[in-house]
Amino acid sequence: MREHQDGTAPGAGAPQSLRSDLPTGSSRWAVRRAQWRSLGITDEEMSRPKIAIVNSSSDLAACFSHLDDIVPVLKDAVRAAGGLPFEIRTAAPADFITSAGAGGRYVLPTRDLIVNDIEVVVEGALLDGMICLSSCDKTAPAHLMAAGRLDVPTVLVACGYQRSALYEDGGADIEDVFLHAGHTALGRTSAEDLLRMSEGAIRGPGVCAGLGTANTMHMAVEALGMALPGSTPVRANSPAMWDAVRAAGHRAVELVKEGRSPRSVLTPAAVRNAVTVMLAIGGSINSVKHLQAVAVEAGLDVDVWRLYEELADRVPVLTAVRPNGPHLIEQLDDAGGTRGVMAALAPLLDLDTVGITGRRLGDLLDAAPPADCAYIRPLDDPFSRRPSILVVRGSLAAEGAIIKLPVDEERPTRFRGPARCYPSREAAVDALAAGQVQRGDVVVLRGMGLHGGPGMAMASAFVFALDGAGLGADVAVVTDGQLSGLVNKGIVVGEVSPEAASGGPLGRVHDGDMISIDLAVRTVDLEVDPDELAAREPIPAETVRTPGWLAQYDATVGLPACGAVLGGRGACAARRASISGDRR
């Protein structure tokens, strides 16, 4: 079979009719034509596949600062392939910027806001396809969710990671700045040193260097088959990124002509493959809720949390990229990237899945160049056989919680200690600075979940402050808040569900109650008699209440077990019972 230059299979048969072609002479056709003619669009162009270029450009963060430069190149590629491009805009959350307000509570909810932004324009205008410029943490999952929901032909383009001083001259990267900011809060790193470190840590546009949530989700997109092979991770503004941009413009038009929609790609087998890749690379724990949200929006009956549990002991860790190990994202990129990891994982993958290329995954991997085994290990010689992402359950987290483990650090498999409870990360940092947190304690940060926040507040600052105090290995953390993908310190149990604000036992923990964490059997338990616990009144949390978007989010968001998608409360009720009913 003849192939396109980008490795895709040609379309089968004549182009399908376009949903965007309104009846000639109708009112909607006439007013739309008037609008588009005023923009210089010809009648011939109006007959082409109409492709949305989804752009989250913003001057607020390096993650998005180069996206406007990508759009013209992408428009030219779409036009050359016979399509008509339209740029549309969405919200643009960046963790290190958007987390300044409301304790970081706007960050996760903006993921779903982006999905709705896309729906309003693409469905409202009846566009035929999408090319999504995926950059910072929440844009890639939002784009996948929108593709699954709308089911119009879609290509995601990973817009690359930033240059860092660590790679270029051995200085700091954003992970170092984030970590030492926590140290500064405890007086362990001076403000002057932190200032110097931050001065040149980021040397160009793109997402955080390292295997945080952004690069993790870029790799997840390719593993799912929604990005072109060999396009992740990638240096921002590199020749490889520009090649992927041009190829995506071509492929998006072809997808419309072929009628190949996201729901033909986002199958249970594809999600299982993506989870396998996430475990093999030691990806961000945020991938759990994001992949679950994608499955929900794509209409799949897939329990991603269970997949992480099922596959944890079967999938060895094949990479050791910061913050999980000593290697750099550039080294993983050069070693073969996502395609190299998937080739090494081939015996564990479903090779019959078909992504946006129209070709079997097995055939694509057979054609992949050999990976560099120094950075992508083979299955029989991994960096670690210990799971990198653990889903834990127990009397404190009947519906699940998540722990991240690095590949280069041995941690005790058990931790037991008295609870020290705080209503926010700020209160916990203050207590830490005052010497109130001691070795052997289990710090409980609560009221930070989807509803308690609302919006799942960020607990990462306390984790790094704990490391700065020299207590990272000697104090455990249990929270219903979320963690940055760059957090990989100590024993931290995140995203505990049910959360305190929803009546979970986390809201009834008292100072001094014993909490036990067992990584071997994957449990987190509160050692309090159930009758006594039930008799306790929940302790009110310090939450942020606003009359705007966060209040709307609180009223509509579903459960973590269902990906924290909007409108999910009723739909998740049955799954909630099944998830918590048969296994701790």
Q: What is the sign, positive or negative, of the torsion defined by CA atoms of 93, 96, 100, 105? A: positive
Q: 265-296 burial, b if ≥16 CB within 10 A, otherwise e? A: bbbebbbbbbbbbbbbbbbbbbbbbbbbbbbb
Task: State the alpha helices, DSSP H only, in 389-528.
Answer: 425-433, 460-468
The predicted structure's pLDDT at residue 180: 87
The predicted structure's pLDDT at residue 546: 74
Distance CA 64, CA 56 (A): 7
- The pair of structure tokens assigned to 30 is 């006439």
The predicted structure's pLDDT at residue 347: 98
The predicted structure's pLDDT at residue 102: 84
Q: Regarding the domain delimited by 389-546, which CATH topology (the fold level of the hierarchy) does it fall under?
A: Glucose Oxidase; domain 1 (3.50.30)
Distance CA 325, CA 12 (A): 45
* Phi, psi dihedral angles at 208 (to 5 degrees): -55, 135
The active-site residue out of 58, 164, 231, 484 is 484
Please, are residues 158 and 133 in contact by the beta-carbon 8 Å criterion? no
Residue 425: closest CA among 404, 442, 406, 448 = 448
The predicted structure's pLDDT at residue 541: 66
In the chain, where the domains are located = 27-163+204-366, 170-203, 389-546
The predicted structure's pLDDT at residue 8: 47
Q: 103-132 burial, b if ≥16 CB within 10 A, otherwise e? A: bbbbbbbbbbbbbebbeebbeeeebbbbbb
- The pair of structure tokens assigned to 235 is 């240096």
Distance CA 389, CA 392 (A): 10
Q: Regarding the domain delimited by 27-163+204-366, which CATH topology (the fold level of the hierarchy) does it fall under?
A: Rossmann fold (3.40.50)
Helix, strand or coil, per DSSP, at residue 212: coil
Query: Looking at the DSSP assignment, which residues form a beta bridge with residue 53?
Result: 87, 131
Q: Which helix (DSSP H) or strand (DSSP E) does residue 35 occupy?
A: helix 27-38
**Is 502 labeled as catalytic in the residue annotation?**
no
The predicted structure's pLDDT at residue 432: 95
Q: 422-451 burial, b if ≥16 CB within 10 A, otherwise e? A: bbbbeebbebbeeeebeeebbbbbbbbbbb
Please, are residues 123 and 232 in contact by the beta-carbon 8 Å criterion? no
Q: 520-537 burial, b if ≥16 CB within 10 A, otherwise e? A: eebbbbbebeeeeeeeee
Residue 354 makes CB contacts below 8 A (sequence gap 6+) with 225, 264, 265, 360, 361
Q: What is the DSSP string of 81-136?
A: TT-EEEEEE-----HHHHTTSGGGTTHHHHHHHHHHHHHHHHHHTT-SEEEEEE-S
Task: State the alpha helices, DSSP H only, in 312-369.
Answer: 329-335, 337-344, 361-366
Distance CA 154, CA 255 (A): 8
Query: Looking at the DSSP assignment, which residues form a beta bridge with residue 130?
Result: 52, 154
Residue 374: closest CA among 423, 318, 414, 447 = 318
Task: State the alpha helices, DSSP H only, in 259-285.
Answer: 262-265, 268-281
- The pair of structure tokens assigned to 482 is 């979320």
* Local mean pLDDT, 10-residue blocks, the chain (584 residues): 38 62 96 97 97 96 96 98 98 90 88 97 98 96 98 98 95 90 84 91 95 96 98 98 98 97 98 98 96 96 96 97 95 98 98 98 96 97 94 97 83 91 92 96 95 88 90 94 80 95 95 97 97 90 76 91 80 45 40
